[in-house]
Amino acid sequence: MTVLDLARADIRALVPYSSARMEASGGTVLLNANESSRPPNVPGGEGLNRYPDPQPRALVNGLAELYGSDPSRLLVTRGSDEAIDLLVRAFCRAGQDAILISPPTFGMYAVCARIQGAQVLECPLGDAGTLDPARLLAAVTPHTRLVFVCAPNNPTGNRVDIDTLRYLATALADRAVLVVDEAYAEFSGVESAVTLVDEVDNVAVLRTLSKAWSLAGARIGTVIARDEVIDLLRRIIPPYPLPSPCVDAALGALSEEGRRLQRHHLQEILTERARMTVELANLPGVREVLPSHANFLAVRFDDASTTYRRLYAAGIVVRDITKYPGLGDALRITVGTGNENDRVLAVLRAGASA
Ligand SMILES: *Cc1c(COP(=O)(O)O)cnc(C)c1O
């Protein structure tokens, strides 16, 4: 038995769409894809009349190096949101299969499953957002195909160590794929689950340039898994997922200068996160600041809804996460620049004395 036995048989047998660019590359007179031979008359329009490379080599190789993976084990997607969707579509039969999630967690796992007609099983996290691996495994049913673990978790900010992930992946072998969402890994300093892809065939790791690489607008996500899983996802990804200006932006971010700036920004966020964790905790009206390994803080307030409105009235938008189980008194505040964070603190101090 291999991980492919867990996938949908109809997707394994699917004849994928074959695009013009896939069937023939090279040439100087390109009359095979019904593109315009003339570029659009817009700023930066040069080359935009052509369909983009489906998986540009330079970007695939750059991301493979960044994440410590082999290029053949990596697919670049329109944000990791698309990778989540592709995994659910490839592994879950509508009306039959299920995914398992640990709320409170990122909302897209459940949304993608529902769009696909897959069942959503839940195994809630413990009190401080802690994941109990034995309890999670006990919630796996024979129809569970994907087990999502968000590490660090959004919106609680807690991390999951590599030994726990290895234990889960090993225990799930031949039963389900462990999907480790590492959208916030850069802020946590823990070892990536990418190394597990060498050890077992039922792990998929999601990474993104949206958070720590300042490129949310470019929609560049990555899924890393065994070649056979990546080949399966290639069958169902839309033909030209990566707009060329987005690829150029990503290549710029991965350049030497881009990496230098990224390290600088990352350090700034870590410093500000430490400062905000202490300063928020000392404010009246704040019950608790959950320790965070990401670029946000989940903060419990005596009165979360009044606090939300007060911040909003001052032009500061934070995330109301009171609908999540166990977080009925909490707001999620992204770590901003020093100035932005000072404004948050000023509004909360003024509110406390009002
Ligand atoms: C923001 C976020 C994503 C989405 O990332 P994109 O690459 O922008 O699609 C995925 N997972 C988690 C947990 C997130 O918080």
Nearest CA owner, ligand 1 atom 7: 79
The two structure tokens encoding residue 149 = 């673990």
Q: Whose CA is nearest to atom 12 of ligand 1?
A: 183
| Mean pLDDT of all residues belonging to the chain | 96
CATH fold of 3-19+54-254, please?
Answer: Aspartate Aminotransferase; domain 2 (3.40.640)
Reported as a pLDDT band with limits 50, 70 and 90, residue 352 is: low
Does the predicted TM-score (pTM) go above 0.85? yes
| Burial tier of 34 (Cβ tally within 10 Å: 0-12, 13-18, 19+) | exposed
Cα(16) to ligand 1 centroid in Å equals 27
Strands (E) in the chain, as ranges, are 74-78, 98-101, 119-122, 144-150, 177-181, 203-208, 220-224, 286-289, 296-301, 319-320, 330-334
What is the sign of the dihedral through the CA atoms of 270, 295, 178 and 227? negative
Residues 319 and 337: beta-carbon distance below 8 Å? no
Q: How far is the CA of 216 from the centre of ligand 1 (A)?
A: 9
User: Quick one: what percent of the chain has pLDDT higher than 90?
Assistant: 92
Please tell me the distance between residue 107's alpha carbon and the centre of ligand 1 in angstroms: 10
| pLDDT of 19 | 84
Higher pLDDT, 142 or 351: 142
Q: Give me the mean pLDDT over the 147-153 stretch.
A: 98
pLDDT in tens, 67-85: 999 999 999 999 999 999 9
Determine whether the shortest distance from the Cβ of 160 to ligand 1 is under 6 A.
no
Atom 1 in ligand 1: which residue has the minimum CA distance?
183
pLDDT tens column, 99-140: 999 999 999 999 999 999 999 999 999 987 899 999 999 999
CA of 127 to the centre of ligand 1 (A): 23
d(CA 233, CA 294): 28
Looking at residue 23, its pLDDT comes to 82
Average pLDDT over residues 220-245: 97
Cβ of residue 156 lying under 6 Å from some atom of ligand 1: no
Domain ranges of the chain: 3-19+54-254, 258-353
Q: Which atom of ligand 1 is nearest to the CA of 150?
A: 13
Point out the least confidently predicted range of 26-40, 87-101, 309-323.
26-40
Place 353 in a pLDDT band, splitting at 50, 70 and 90: low
> Do 124 and 100 meet the contact criterion of CB atoms below 8 Å apart?
no
Q: Which atom of ligand 1 is nearest to the CA of 209?
A: 7
Averaged pLDDT for residues 87-101 = 98
pLDDT at 219: 98
Whether the CB of 79 sits within 6 Å of ligand 1: yes
> Does residue 152 have its Cβ closer than 6 Å to ligand 1?
no
User: How many CB atoms neighbour CB 339 within 10 A?
Assistant: 7
Distance of alpha carbon 73 from alpha carbon 230, whole angstroms: 6
Mean predicted confidence (pLDDT) in 315-336: 96
Span from the CA of 211 to the centroid of ligand 1 (angstroms):
8
pLDDT for position 51 = 95
- What SS3 class is residue 281? helix
CA–CA distance, 119 with 154 (Å, rounded to integer): 21
Tell me the C-alpha to C-alpha distance, in Å, between residue 226 and each of 88, 198, 211: 16, 8, 25
Query: In CATH terms, is domain 258-353 a member of 3.10.580.10?
Result: no
Distance from C-alpha of 167 to C-alpha of 73, rounded to nearest angstrom: 22
pLDDT at residue 354 tops 70 = no
C-alpha 137 to ligand 1 mean position (Å):
24
To the nearest whole percent, how much of the chain has pLDDT over 70? Answer: 99
Angle at 143 between CA 183 and CA 7, to 5 degrees: 65
Counting every residue, how long is the chain? Answer: 354
